[in-house]
A and B are shown apart, each in its own frame.
Chain A
Amino acid sequence: MIPNEIEITPELVAEHGLKPDEYQRILDLIGRTPTLTELGIFSAMWNEHCSYKSSKKWLRTLPTKGPRVLQGPGENAGVVDIGDGEAVVFKMESHNHPSYIEPYQGAATGVGGILRDVFTMGARPIAAMNALRFGAPTHERTRHIVSGVVAGIGGYGNSFGVPTVGGEVNFDPSYNGNCLVNAFAAGLADTDKIFLSEAKGVGMPIVYLGSKTGRDGIHGATMASAEFDDDSEEKRPTVQIGDPFGEKLLLEACLELMATGAVIAIQDMGAAGLTCSAVEMGAKGNLGVELDLDKVPCREEGMTAYEMMLSESQERMLMVLHPEKQAEAEAVFRKWDLDFAVVGKTTDDLRFRIFRHGDLMGDLPIKELGDEAPEYDRPWVETKPPAPLDPESVPAPNDLGAVLLKLLGSPDMCSRRWVWEQYDHLVQGNTVVRPGSDAAVVRVKDSNKGLAFSLDVTPRYCTADPVQGGKQAVAECWRNITASGAEPLAVTDNLNFGNPEKPEIMGQFVGCIKGIGEACEALAFPVVSGNVSLYNETNGQAIMPTPAIGGVGLIPDLGKIATTAFKGEGEAIYVIGETLGHLGQSVYLRDIEGRREGPAPHVDLGAEKRHGDFVRSLIRSARVTAVHDVSDGGLLIALAEMAMAGGIGAALEAQTDLPLHAWGFGEDQARYIVTIAEAGAGDLEKDAEKTGIPLTRLGRTGGRELTLSGQLTISLDKLAQAHEGWFPAYMAAPDTNA
């Protein structure tokens, strides 16, 4: 029996984010009142963030297998075979709650956490991306959060030395009280040198590595499992502080240590720190774990067992090492000036025991801590589809050109240069396609192979129709990767939603998962890792459902890739896929008409596959010169982007019966724009006809203007001015709210 140092009251239980029935479950499980330390451990293991208790049931339905998948969900990151004995290791994870409270450190440690997930598996990180969502530009906190988050991502990634090559940025009032910071990282490893978290062998030393433990981040994961209210500012102490230099040392030391063969198992200390990592290593290996907290390197004096078990101090690792290699391992860490301490051992009794000052502070069944976490089948209601949009109700604009300029210069559609110029996107010297194209492309070092990366989701589609929105997120990601010439391999998902205890929110979650699952299945694009972030609500106001999809593709020959920029004068421009003028939930309808109406565009997965495979074959046979997927803003936005990127204009023609604004700004899916030398245009038309691929000529490249016969004439300079202007001007504007 362990003496209770503090009485466990219902208030204390509630403060730990545990519901009365969940506390009862603890009592039933251990047959006594838990100590405060044990209560903290349960709260860390059983919160939404760590236990996936609301989402697990639905996550199981996602396709996670494929011929190239070496490791699916359940480890620190997913692993996919890219041939020649190499694998890409990748994952995406949210750091939403901390980034809202303390933007710089929240975003910085989000990047740190995901990088650690990747190199914990034995992979050297080669690329990072970020999906960012902020409140309305006019909201009082937005500028402050954008500025802090972008600086934090740069501050960490630039110093660590990983190129940040892409991502997404959107603004919407639904994120006023909850910004989203979803950090993606990918690394390279040899397929036979992947490291896992499963401990093996009884009596093996458990070693603590990296930075010292402090009082920062205590209860971070619990915070991330609750809604915000007006007092959320007070949660600032739960945000961790990042040290990218410490992380860089940890990376080099870990990779060097792994090469010695000393490592049996490794787990980074992320959410819920020492607790989560120790339990996971033991439980996966069917072993008990004993920790002597007196051995843990501490930054501050007088830390209690409770504080040490819940600290989320960054840049720390836990490993199980071969005892005979311990000295060699220690030498590596000393060389890099990092802490190295044997803090415990594995046991054969499946208990998780914690000692502090010689006293037993916790004694819990290790398997049950993870496996017996509550799991909920939460009630949900299907999202009602919006009424159809009457095309007649959307009037033609007076000036198509003015609309194009307005959209190109709008917060959601304008250039993100202000953001990505603060990220080192060139370090490592392997960046082939820089930010601003459909997918970023990074060379696999010392080879002619490349990897393509893209992050995508359209939250307004998910709001209108979660199933179509989920499908569309996967389809757009697949398209972006395809448009670079890559074969899409697999995805990681970052599912951001409101409070799952509300049936409507749970309905959005279930719908999106269904859509994602269907699309991943149809496009052979399995989910290999991911993260769920729920309770993104403030004072009852939820974010739009935002299931971000991060995809990876393989390019076998870097000589055969495509980018969005027009390449030459006098080339033919085509759109592949059908243009039906779908304006429901479009950027046009929202930003020009001020209406969020109509159904999301329908995603025909068969057409996506056919059109994409066709485009990829065109790129690989070097027939097309530029390729761009058509998404937000439709054809005219895509064409303007291609013209600006290439510094070459185009003369367009609209062969259509549709109203021109529906033709130009409709958001029908499964479409790509390609350019091709006129000499090859006839063959392209024949091939498309033969294979039943819809192909429509849009005009010809050339000049310094974008023209649409009789409808608009805009110079490239004017387009670029509109496109590049908004972000820097917005960020430079004086803060009206201190």
Chain B
Amino acid sequence: MKSAVIVYPGINRERDLARALELVTGTAPYMVWHDDAEIPDVDLIAVPGGFSYGDYLRCGAIAGQARITADLKKKAAKGVRVFGVCNGFQILTEIGLLPGALLRNAHLKFVCKEVKLEVANSRTAFTNAYTQGQIIRCPVAHHDGNYFADEGTIRKLEDEHRVVFRYAEGTNPNGSINDIAGIINEKGNVLGMMPHPENLVEPLHGGLDGRGIFESLLETVA
């Protein structure tokens, strides 16, 4: 499986994501600079976490204006899989590949801890290695992870089973509506999530629960 990780200034989990991809797929991803015109032909484009441009403005707002965005949108429209984590999720909502927005955490503080996630839809290309309703552990680390969308959008997401991950067992760390932790687009090729599965993929991390996403992708590509 070939993959690419987009690097914006201020991003800081691009190495974590690249390492997880390499660990599971056996191939190191291309690291693509935000100011490039084109992303190489790959099976997966990953948009990593961090603080693009410092996120001094609305999270992801400036990254959305990057030169690479045009090609990212084009490839997503063509059906290339796109995976946004944390700041990456925020960027994907900012450029309209996913609906809704990530607001400031309800308690107004940055939060880094391990939460429980329910795999609310295991029939996606990103989650088929998990079982439906499986509860997994996963770390979060964000200041603006409070998922919000208007009532109609939420209803549509729920009706179409596009909420893929939900905070479980009372561990919602940010006040997200319906405990939403990750959603997928209508075509099923763009997934965004706030938690960091890339930080729980080897024994040294204290668990392997995050591997399922990368294994699912590998499975559906190969």
**Is the pair A423, B51 in contact by a Cβ cutoff of 8 Å?**
no
**Is the pair B12, A161 in contact by a Cβ cutoff of 8 Å?**
yes
| Cβ of B139 under 8 Å from chain A | yes
| Cβ of A426 under 8 Å from chain B | yes
Q: A18 to B9, alpha carbons, bound, how many Å? A: 43
Pick the interface stretch among B76-84, B105-113, B118-126, B175-183: B105-113
CB distance from A166 to the nearest CB of B (A): 13
| Cβ of A151 under 8 Å from chain B | yes
Q: What number of B residues sit within 8 Å (CB to CB) of A? A: 27
**Is the pair A245, B9 in contact by a Cβ cutoff of 8 Å?**
yes
| Cβ of A427 under 8 Å from chain B | yes
| Cβ of A425 under 8 Å from chain B | yes
Residues of B within 8 A of A423 (CB): 110, 112
Q: A118 to B201, alpha carbons, bound, how many Å? A: 29
Residues of A within 8 A of B55 (CB): 159, 245
| Cβ of B222 under 8 Å from chain A | no
CB distance from B176 to the nearest CB of A (A): 17
Q: Name the CB-closest residue of B to A150.
A: B109
Q: Which among A155, A248, A428 is the interface contact of B9 at CB below 8 angstroms? A: A248
Q: A151 to B107, alpha carbons, bound, how many Å? A: 13
Q: A523 to B20, alpha carbons, bound, how many Å? A: 40
Residues of A within 8 A of B196 (CB): 426
**Is the pair B199, A159 in contact by a Cβ cutoff of 8 Å?**
no
Residues of B within 8 A of A154 (CB): 110
CB distance from B43 to the nearest CB of A (A): 22
**Is the pair B13, A443 in contact by a Cβ cutoff of 8 Å?**
no
Q: A658 to B113, alpha carbons, bound, how many Å? A: 41
Encode contact with B along A249-279: 1 for CB under 8 Å, 0 otherwise.
Answer: 1001000000000000000000000000000
Residues of A within 8 A of B15 (CB): 428-429
CB distance from B208 to the nearest CB of A (A): 13
Q: Which among B13, B54, B113, B143 is the interface contact of A421 at CB below 8 angstroms? A: B113
CB distance from B146 to the nearest CB of A (A): 16
CB distance from A601 to the nearest CB of B (A): 35
**Is the pair A155, B12 in contact by a Cβ cutoff of 8 Å?**
no
Q: Name the CB-closest residue of A to B112.
A: A424
Encode contact with A along B108-140: 1 for CB under 8 Å, 0 otherwise.
Answer: 011111000000000000000000000000010
Q: Name the CB-closest residue of B to A160.
A: B12
CB distance from B125 to the nearest CB of A (A): 24
Encode contact with B along A399-443: 1 for CB under 8 Å, 0 otherwise.
Answer: 000000000000000000000111111111111100000000001
Residues of A within 8 A of B20 (CB): 429
Assess A249 versus B9: contact at CB under 8 Å? Given A429-B199, A558-B204: yes
Encode contact with A along B92-104: 1 for CB under 8 Å, 0 otherwise.
Answer: 0000000000000
Near B by CB (< 8 A), chain A positions 155-174 give: 155, 158-161
CB distance from A616 to the nearest CB of B (A): 20
Most buried by A among B55, B143, B204: B204
**Is the pair A424, B54 in contact by a Cβ cutoff of 8 Å?**
no
| Cβ of B148 under 8 Å from chain A | no
* Dominant secondary structure at the B interface: mixed
| Cβ of A58 under 8 Å from chain B | no
**Is the pair A422, B112 in contact by a Cβ cutoff of 8 Å?**
yes
| Cβ of B53 under 8 Å from chain A | yes
Q: A427 to B9, alpha carbons, bound, how many Å? A: 16
**Is the pair B110, A155 in contact by a Cβ cutoff of 8 Å?**
yes
Q: Name the CB-closest residue of A to B141.
A: A424
Assess A248 versus B10: contact at CB under 8 Å? Given A159-B51, A429-B199, A558-B204: yes
Q: Name the CB-closest residue of B to A450.
A: B204
**Is the pair B16, A421 in contact by a Cβ cutoff of 8 Å?**
no
| Cβ of A730 under 8 Å from chain B | no
CB distance from A125 to the nearest CB of B (A): 11
| Cβ of B209 under 8 Å from chain A | no
CB distance from B201 to the nearest CB of A (A): 8
**Is the pair B205, A244 in contact by a Cβ cutoff of 8 Å?**
no
Q: A421 to B139, alpha carbons, bound, how many Å? A: 11
Q: Which among A246, A336, A426, A430 is the interface contact of B141 at CB below 8 angstroms? A: A426
Q: A558 to B56, alpha carbons, bound, how many Å? A: 38
Encode contact with A along B160-190: 1 for CB under 8 Å, 0 otherwise.
Answer: 0000000000000000000000000000000
| Cβ of A456 under 8 Å from chain B | no
Near B by CB (< 8 A), chain A positions 124-179 give: 151, 154-155, 158-161
**Is the pair B139, A426 in contact by a Cβ cutoff of 8 Å?**
yes
Most buried by B among A245, A252, A423: A245
CB distance from B119 to the nearest CB of A (A): 21
| Cβ of A243 under 8 Å from chain B | yes
| Cβ of A337 under 8 Å from chain B | yes
Q: Which among B16, B54, B112 is the interface contact of A243 at CB below 8 angstroms? A: B54
**Is the pair B198, A159 in contact by a Cβ cutoff of 8 Å?**
no
CB distance from B14 to the nearest CB of A (A): 9
Q: A612 to B159, alpha carbons, bound, how many Å? A: 60
CB distance from A259 to the nearest CB of B (A): 16
Assess A245 versus B54: contact at CB under 8 Å? Given A161-B13, A337-B9, A429-B16: yes
Q: Name the CB-closest residue of A to B140.
A: A426
Q: Which among A248, A420, A432, A443 is the interface contact of B12 at CB below 8 angstroms? A: A248
CB distance from A102 to the nearest CB of B (A): 18
**Is the pair A422, B141 in contact by a Cβ cutoff of 8 Å?**
no
Q: Which among A160, A161, A425, A428 is the interface contact of B112 at CB below 8 angstroms? A: A425
Q: A160 to B199, alpha carbons, bound, how many Å? A: 17
Residues of A within 8 A of B141 (CB): 158, 424, 426-427
Near B by CB (< 8 A), chain A positions 428-475 give: 428-432, 443
Most buried by B among A158, A426, A558: A426
CB distance from A280 to the nearest CB of B (A): 29
Q: Name the CB-closest residue of B to A448.
A: B204
| Cβ of B64 under 8 Å from chain A | no
| Cβ of B212 under 8 Å from chain A | no
CB distance from A143 to the nearest CB of B (A): 14
Residues of B within 8 A of A425 (CB): 112
Near A by CB (< 8 A), chain B positions 6-61 give: 9-10, 12-13, 15-16, 19-20, 50-51, 53-56
Q: A249 to B8, alpha carbons, bound, how many Å? A: 10
Q: A246 to B53, alpha carbons, bound, how many Å? A: 9
Residues of A within 8 A of B16 (CB): 427-429
Q: Which 3 A-B pairs have the closest CB atoms?
A: A161-B12, A245-B54, A429-B16
Could you list 29 examples of A-B contacts with CB < 8 Å? A151-B110, A158-B51, A158-B110, A159-B10, A159-B50, A159-B51, A159-B54, A161-B50, A161-B51, A244-B51, A245-B53, A246-B54, A248-B9, A248-B10, A249-B10, A252-B9, A337-B9, A420-B112, A422-B110, A423-B112, A424-B110, A424-B112, A425-B112, A426-B139, A428-B15, A429-B15, A430-B204, A431-B205, A558-B204
Q: Given A426-B199, A429-B19, 14 more contacts at CB 8 Å?
A: A159-B55, A161-B13, A243-B54, A245-B54, A245-B55, A248-B51, A421-B113, A422-B110, A422-B111, A422-B112, A424-B112, A426-B141, A426-B196, A429-B20
